[in-house]
Amino acid sequence: MKSSKANTILVTGANGQLGTCIKAIANNYPSCNVVFEDSSSLDITNRNQVVQYMSNSQFDYIINCAAYTAVDLAEDNKEKAFEINAKAVENLTIACKRFSSTLLHVSTDFVFDGKKNAPYLERDSTHPLNYYGASKLNGEQIIQQALSKYVIIRTSWLFSEFGNNFVKTMVRLGQEKKELSIVADQYGSPTYAIDLAHILLTFIASSSTSYGLYHFSNHGATTWYNFAAEIFKLQNQDIRLHKTTSKQFASRAIRPKYSVLETKKVKETLNVEIRNWQSALKEMISRL
């Protein structure tokens, strides 16, 4: 029989997109007692501060939503990306080990090189093309080497009504411009951050001990071009879209051409249905 004792949970990176989404739905999980901290109240790059904080208020779980996610800037700010995406993760693993906490950590589809043409499985070999992906993979490896009680969830193309993301950028640009050029040769699966937040809290609320590595995104694959077209359709905005290529767009960081994630493992482990990205996008747009 499961204990009725509430799970105490620390969410780091609380003011980011995913942390804000967890905050928005936490009341739906009465068995979860969640504390939210951002970098101003808990600097996870400071090992002593992390250990001291955890010794004062021990948690059953840590959900690490803190990350350096500026993919292009990471190419020129390697040290900062590594500090947040790897070194800070090591600090959290040390605290989790010392206080017997379970770590839930969010990673990325950018650990893959995009050379596959079928959805990526958790066991597929990794080969990041950019420093952001490399720093996130390093964080994964630190967790896997240090802990037995962990859940790493790789996700992709995160969007929501909170924070900065592709959907909100398109909505803003659609109000400013009549024509846009959008990359049409990168394939991935959009993920509504609210749905990811539910997955993270479901792992905890269900008292799952199925630790390990998982993939989660909304169902279905698309390109940035088709994603944008769907956004403008839902917004009833008449924007002329032009297809461009990754090469023509010439961003600082190289991105995988195909990074669709296979989500069967998380679906079966938690016994959850995963809706398609179009349905999730429609709900998100209705909340703007």
Provide the pLDDT for residue 1.
Answer: 33
**If you ran DSSP here, which 8-state letter would residue 276 be given?**
B
Task: Provide the total of helices (H) and of strands (E) in the chain, helices listed first.
Answer: 12, 12
Alpha carbon of residue 253 to chain centroid = 19
- 7-161+191-218+260-274 folds as Rossmann fold (3.40.50)
pLDDT at 3: 47
pLDDT for 163 equals: 95
Using the 8-state DSSP alphabet, how is residue 16 labeled?
S
Q: How is the chain split among helix, strand and coil, in percent rounded to 5?
A: 45, 20, 40
Tell me which residues are annotated as active site. Answer: 132
Strands 179-183 and 191-192: unpaired
Instruction: Supply the pLDDT for residue 5.
Output: 77
pLDDT for position 4:
58
Spell out the domain ranges in the chain.
7-161+191-218+260-274
Residues in the chain predicted with pLDDT less than 50, given as ranges, are: 1-3
CA distances from 175 to 219, 234, 249 (A): 29, 14, 22
Q: For strand 240-244 and strand 179-183, is the pairing parallel, antiparallel, or unpaired?
A: parallel
**Alpha helices for 26-100 (secondary structure H):** 47-56, 71-74, 78-82, 88-99
Handedness of CA 194, 149, 15, 120 (dihedral sign): negative
* β partners of residue 35: 10
Give the predicted TM-score (pTM) of the model: 0.97
